[in-house]
Structure 1
Amino acid sequence: MVNQLAKFSPELASQTEPLRQLLKRDSLWSWGHPQEQSFQAVKKNLTSTPVLAHYCAGRETIIAADASNAGLGAVLLQIQPDGSRRPVSYISRSLTPAEKNYAVIEKEALAATWASERFSEYILGSTYTIETDHKPLVPLLTTKELYKMPPRIQRFRLHLMRFSPNVIHVSGKQQITADALSRAPASAPSEENIALVNDADVMAKQTLDGLPASSRKLQDIITQQKCDPEIVE
């Protein structure tokens, strides 16, 4: 129930941390003050009215995404008639053991891609903005040539091609909600999350196989051809 309603409250991810620790295999079962406090806070949260806006297809849509060493977090926002930014939905998840070994920029790229996939029912077929506090990520997801990017970034960039995002940099102060969600993820990676990376791998291979050879690759081919006796003859 908590996982199902987590998207309606940005606080549930942090409130359930003491309870989720009890679910770990190597954790001893101990119900103390932190667990009781967490349980009561979750109950109160679930019975309170969430402060969320209804999604409107005609309004400017923003996805603020962030990554930490623990997880990913994102919030879907829309600009209201009065100019305010109101949240429509919150999401968060923990990183897999493999994802925890990613470089910082790779985690940030994963966060933007994963958030777009999770919010696809809202953004597919329309333009939207991705906000990131990691400035080097902006050109990698927008203007930089595909073959010049690291392999993992290539895969995430390719996966974003079915969407129409405008990626911009914002200060960390504007990413408080997404940052908080990433540091206290509400759920573990699902099969869909794992499929995201697997699908990206397949798409990347198919696309990269059709890319023109780089200057360095062409020079390697020329060098090898000169050393091939059959071609020389």
Structure 2
Amino acid sequence: MPSPSNKKDLLQFIGMINYLGRYIKNLSANLAFLRELIKENTAWSWGENEEAEFRRIKEMVSEVTTLKYFDIRKPITIECDASSLGLGAAAFQDGRVVAYASRALTKAEKNYAQIEKELLAILFACNRFDQMIVGNRTIIKTDHKPLLNTFEKPLLKAPKRLQLMLMALQRYNFEMEYINGKNNIVADVLSSALTPISKSDEANANLRANIFKIIGEKIDGETMKRMLI
């Protein structure tokens, strides 16, 4: 996550930190410079003190004392989000973060419709948290309400790109829930506060997409129809 370049970015970051604040020791003392910077009458000036505090807070939200160890006996909740820049997801148990995940969108993915980006975020989260959710009760939350209807309809009625992603999700058993955008704090920050994607990441993302495409092309029409109904 790059350093904020304006008050809006900093407010978004602090919003996520406050959401996780009950698990972070001495949070108020460690946010002194950043809180001062978001005050209405304070001019934007990002210096060494702000950068040091920003880096320290990022370390704190990824420490064992803040995160929770995954418990195979308990259900897991995953919150997902997609922005114009990337995908974000966070896995929770008992209200505490088990894992974070995010990646930037490729050039092609940036042209997807928003509903396609949101479903891509879910697929990304399932792939990233695969070992935690296979065989476990899983709830996936999205702030894109139209996406819930997509899961309730036959696959044949979905556009082809959504069909391919929905087919890739067939190996997972999860429940979908809607979450208000203002409450989808962690995933929202992870999806929008990203560094630019590298060429190697873009190539790997395209390779994964091609694998699904190849699998789909090798299935004959009648078998495909039975799978989609």
- How does the TM-score come out when normalised to structure 2? 0.69
* Counterpart secondary structure, 1:66: strand
Aligned-residue offset at 1:207: 4.6
Q: Once the two structures are aligned, what percentage of the paired residues are identical?
A: 33
Classify 1:127/1:200 alpha carbon distance in 2 versus 1 (closer, same or farther; 3 Å).
farther
- Structure 1: where are the runs of 5+ without partners? 1-12, 19-32, 80-84, 214-233
Aligned-residue offset at 1:91: 1.0
- Structure 1 residue aligned with 2:110: 100
CA RMSD in angstroms comes to 2.6
Deviations along 1:33-69, whole A, 9 cap, x unmatched? 7585675245424654451111101112011000000
Classify 1:159/1:37 alpha carbon distance in 2 versus 1 (closer, same or farther; 3 Å).
farther
**Distance in 2 between residues matched to 1:45 and 1:67, nearest whole Å:** 24
Classify 1:164/1:212 alpha carbon distance in 2 versus 1 (closer, same or farther; 3 Å).
closer
Aligned-residue offset at 1:192: 4.6
Aligned-partner residue type, residue 194 of structure 1 = N
| 1:204 pairs with 2:216 | yes
- Structure 2 residue aligned with 1:58: 73
**Distance in 1 between residues matched to 2:121 and 2:48, nearest whole Å:** 32
Aligned-partner residue type, residue 173 of structure 1 = K
- How does the TM-score come out when normalised to structure 1? 0.68
Q: Decide which of 181, 198, 216 is 2:190's aligned counterpart.
A: 181
**Structural mapping, 1:47-126, within 5 Å:** 48=60, 49=63, 51-79=66-94, 85-126=95-136
- Structure 2: where are the runs of 5+ without partners? 7-44
Mapped contact 2:89–2:191 kept (Cα < 8 A): yes
Question: Rg larger in 1 or in 2?
Answer: 1
Aligned-residue offset at 1:147: 1.2
**Length, aligned pairs only:** 181
Classify 1:157/1:181 alpha carbon distance in 2 versus 1 (closer, same or farther; 3 Å).
same
- Structure 2 residue aligned with 1:153: 162
* Counterpart secondary structure, 2:152: coil
Mapped contact 1:73–1:182 kept (Cα < 8 A): yes
Q: Decide which of 148, 173, 180 is 1:171's aligned counterpart.
A: 180
**Distance in 2 between residues matched to 1:109 and 1:174, nearest whole Å:** 19
